[in-house]
Structure 1
Amino acid sequence: MLKGLIFDLDGVLTDSAKFHLAAWNDLAKELGIRLTNEQLNSLRGISRMDSLDLILQYGHQTNEYTEQQKKQFAAAKNEKFLQQVDTMTPKDILPGIPQLLADAQEANLKMCIASASKNAPKILHKLKIASKFAGIVDAATVNKGKPDPEIYQKAQQLLHLKASEVISFEDAAAGVAAIKAAGQFAVGIGDRTVLKEADYLVASTKDLQLDKIVAAYINS
């Protein structure tokens, strides 16, 4: 029986992912690394330090910096990102999401956030939807990033629910893999070829309809 919904944040509830990718791209250029669109998009849904490690790998600079230097790079990237977050308003909530959240509340479904972003609380506050969620998994307590299932397992525990009682939403392949590894029903938002492991797929958030998603979950 469905009792809860778990959401990634960037690219699912709001397009803050574009701010992340722009900030990472700027940092890469400063390090003399030119990222392809495919490489840049591979950073979606993974943690800050994992993203930096991937960028350095793409630029063949994996062993050129100390951990302290890498932390400084990540902090500089985050500062640029936060400057963009400060401009966010409820208008930045993606299409279809307000209705989905309203329908979920009406159905008495518990909801929480499973995001690799340590800035999730601030973003939800800027979007004025923080009160709709029972909680947010603290990214600082997650030892393994997506596609490891840890963050979705923690979200499930936060809601005091079983894997079979939740539906989780993602826009990144690593996120969908994490959901499936956690034994949960995965809703993918985006490209079918990228998110082919999802149990239910829509092209964009405006196509999310709770009744159709629940029907697919019941029949899975």
Structure 2
Amino acid sequence: MTAELPELPDLRALDGVLFDLDGVLTPTADVHMHAWQSMFTELFTSWGIEPPYTQDDYFRYLDGKQRYDGVASLLRSRDVEVPWGDPSDPITADTVCGIGNRKNEVFARVLRTDGIAPYPGSLALIEQLRAAGTPIGVVSSSKNAEEVLTIAGIREFFPVVVDGVVSAREGLRSKPAPDMFAAGARMLGVDPARSAAVEDAHSGVASAAAAGFGLVVGVDRGAGAQALLDLGATLVVDDLSAFVTR
């Protein structure tokens, strides 16, 4: 679904464009989704947690958030509290960090075994923006962003990458707080009000809107077009090829 506009804006005319990664530039959101489902289905069964994990849980509590924040958010939805722990916790630890690390091991194994390629429409838009000299960057909650961009062969295209590693180092709050997108605009040297943010996640759209971006593009890869609009998207498309001029 593309938002009902007579004509989509030309992103090349903006100060800059900041992209989310998973589900926007690369189909890694599917890998994340399956890794979360596998891990939480097993965890909920072994702990006797009800109701069972569903795909809706991914979009509501996990998608777009930093890994440990997502774990804590989903467990709270089931009235389950566990210690936060430490990022160095082993995958066997029943802590927020241990559970998050358990999921990340599954994700990393699939990524390194199967590889990943960018969406063709996203790659075409990146190439068009680069040819026009429009500054572009990546804002991703994932601590795997650098590896994903490198494996996908597009790391060199982005002078600015604000990811989960940068966020932890700089003390930036997780999406849906505006911190990460605001930092991305600052590092790219652009005014958010004259720039675009491109997101597929509920929390990401809310983050970009809160950061004051003049154009918030929602990409509906399953989160729901109306939900993205309700959270602050200016318009919604189902693929970034919609912005590519031919």
Q: TM-score range by the shorter chain?
A: 0.7 to 0.9
Distance in 1, Cα, partners of 2:71 & 2:24 = 22
Q: Could you list the per-position Cα deviations for residues 20-40 of structure 1 after superposition, in whole angstroms to 9, with x for gaps in the alignment?
A: 121212221232242122112
2:147 equivalent in structure 1: 122
Equivalent of residue 195 in structure 1, options 223, 228, 241:
228
Equivalent of residue 127 in structure 2, options 90, 102, 105:
102
| Deviating 4+ runs (over 4 angstroms) | none
Distance in 1, Cα, partners of 2:30 & 2:218 = 18
* Aligned counterparts, 1:1-20, within 5 A: 2-20=14-32
1:35 equivalent in structure 2: 53
Distance in 1, Cα, partners of 2:178 & 2:142 = 16
Quick one: percent identity of the two aligned structures? Answer: 29
CA RMSD of aligned residues (A): 1.9
**TM-score, normalization: structure 2?**
0.79
* Aligned counterparts, 1:71-90, within 5 A: 71-89=97-115
1:217 equivalent in structure 2: none
- Displacement of 1:163 after TM fit? 1.2
Q: Could you list the per-position Cα deviations for residues 156-194 of structure 1 after superposition, in whole angstroms to 9, with x for gaps in the alignment?
A: 011011112321100012111111111102011113211
Contact 1:28 1:55 in 2 (8 A): no
Unmatched runs of 5 consecutive residues or more in structure 1: 212-220
Does residue 1:49 correspond to 2:68, yes or no? yes
**Structure 2 CA distance for partners of 1:66 and 1:137, relative to 1, 3 Å:** closer
**Structure 2 CA distance for partners of 1:109 and 1:202, relative to 1, 3 Å:** same
Does residue 1:67 correspond to 2:79, yes or no? no
Contact 1:104 1:210 in 2 (8 A): no
**TM-score, normalization: structure 1?**
0.87
Contact 1:176 1:186 in 2 (8 A): yes
Equivalent of residue 35 in structure 2, options 5, 23, 27:
23
- Displacement of 1:93 after TM fit? 1.2
Distance in 2, Cα, partners of 1:9 & 1:88 = 18
Contact 2:218 2:235 in 1 (8 A): yes
Q: Could you list the per-position Cα deviations for residues 44-78 of structure 1 after superposition, in whole angstroms to 9, with x for gaps in the alignment?
A: 1111011101221233212x445252212111111
**Structure 2 CA distance for partners of 1:200 and 1:169, relative to 1, 3 Å:** same
Q: Helix, strand or coil: the match of 2:109?
A: helix
Q: Helix, strand or coil: the match of 2:206?
A: helix
Distance in 2, Cα, partners of 1:48 & 1:66 = 12
- Displacement of 1:121 after TM fit? 0.4
